Amino acid sequence: MLSSCVRPVPTTVRFVDSLICNSSRSFMDLKALLSSLNDFASLSFAESWDNVGLLVEPSPPHTVNTLFLTNDLTEEVMEEVLQKKADLILSYHPPIFRPMKRITWNTWKERLVIRALENRVGIYSPHTAYDAAPQGVNNWLAKGLGACTSRPIHPSKAPNYPTEGNHRVEFNVNYTQDLDKVMSAVKGIDGVSVTSFSARTGNEEQTRINLNCTQKALMQVVDFLSRNKQLYQKTEILSLEKPLLLHTGMGRLCTLDESVSLATMIDRIKRHLKLSHIRLALGVGRTLVLVSCFLCFEESQVKVVALCAGSGSSVLQGVEADLYLTGEMSHHDTLDAASQGINVILCEHSNTERGFLSDLRDMLDSHLENKINIILSETDRDPLQVV
């Protein structure tokens, strides 16, 4: 009787153990995780010059238990990655940008690739895809300004055309027998969708044909029409554009609900970015009143802010605003903006990006349904310091 009472104990212990394991985070297959990351912010929104996506892949299959977030992947950060046994690095900036002709121990970026592969750690970079995303870096930067409405300075185009194909061919057909011949021909071309409706030209009833075509199909449609000119009239060929997206794109133009003094805006930006100092170029004709200043004159107000995380020269150029906010800007672009009466605040490149990672961790936790561990780098920092 004693032995029969003892036997069930290990079973009970194993059951409790399994409950504990199931309550903790598990893992995701790398391919499934990459798909989920793309659902969160599509890589199609990245700039054409950028190098985004999976940059280093361990031999498959590869599972991810811990995702490591960093703004820049340096050798110091890689040490931290290995100590914390991460399986995939999400590095906002791509550590591989220019083509590598060899992978040796000679340069620090080559060493990153070697150490990642040796330790079966993947490297993924979203970069400008996260700049453009509605919930991305630039939206996070705008949160520090105060209550405002914002829109992208350069809106992104939708990844797909609103209809099949990127061209539309429209023409009229007069007679039923001609219509049957035309419809039979165009419906036999791959990559063409057809719609038709009644139309009237003067007193004559006609049928208006609309063909949405791929580039390849367009060539076949034009070839058919050129050989059968007697069948149609009033032809138009239109190139379709992908629609612009309302909340997705590069930079943000922010209009504050209420104007604030330049000094107030500087304080807000410092608090948001956790910086003790920023660099300011005062626009021509603008004024800044510091707390210690006893002169009595009106300080310039800020109502419209154009911002771009990182390096903002190309995005902000020519934008009308009271203030440009970015990480870095060329000397001459800064002079140009200031000459137009635009104040410029520079915070160093990665200082305008890094704070986003805390928000990103929370958003990815929710998006990935807490399936994996997500940790932030403790060693990642801007290479420039004020001394």
CB atoms within 10 A of CB 229: 9
pLDDT in tens, 179-229: 889 998 999 999 899 988 888 777 778 899 999 998 899 999 999 989 988
Collect all residues with Cβ–Cβ distance below 8 Å to 268 and sequence separation of at least 6: 144, 145, 146, 260
Q: CB of 305 within 8 A of CB of 289?
A: no
pLDDT in tens, 244-272: 999 999 999 999 999 999 999 999 999 99
Q: What are phi and psi of 321, to 5 degrees?
A: -165, 165
Lowest mean pLDDT among 80-89, 100-109, 223-232, 246-255: 223-232
pLDDT at 312: 96
Lowest mean pLDDT among 3-7, 40-44, 91-95: 3-7
Mean pLDDT of 17-33: 67
User: Which region, left, alpha or beta, applies to residue 202 given φ > 0 means left and ψ of -120 to 50 means alpha?
Assistant: left
Nearest to 236 by CA among 216, 217, 222: 222
- CA–CA separation, 198 and 235 (whole Å): 16
pLDDT in tens, 264-314: 999 999 999 999 999 999 999 999 987 655 444 578 999 999 999 999 999
Burial tier of 20 (Cβ tally within 10 Å: 0-12, 13-18, 19+): exposed
Lowest mean pLDDT among 9-18, 106-115, 340-349: 9-18
pLDDT at 25: 67
Lowest mean pLDDT among 12-16, 102-106, 174-178, 362-366: 12-16
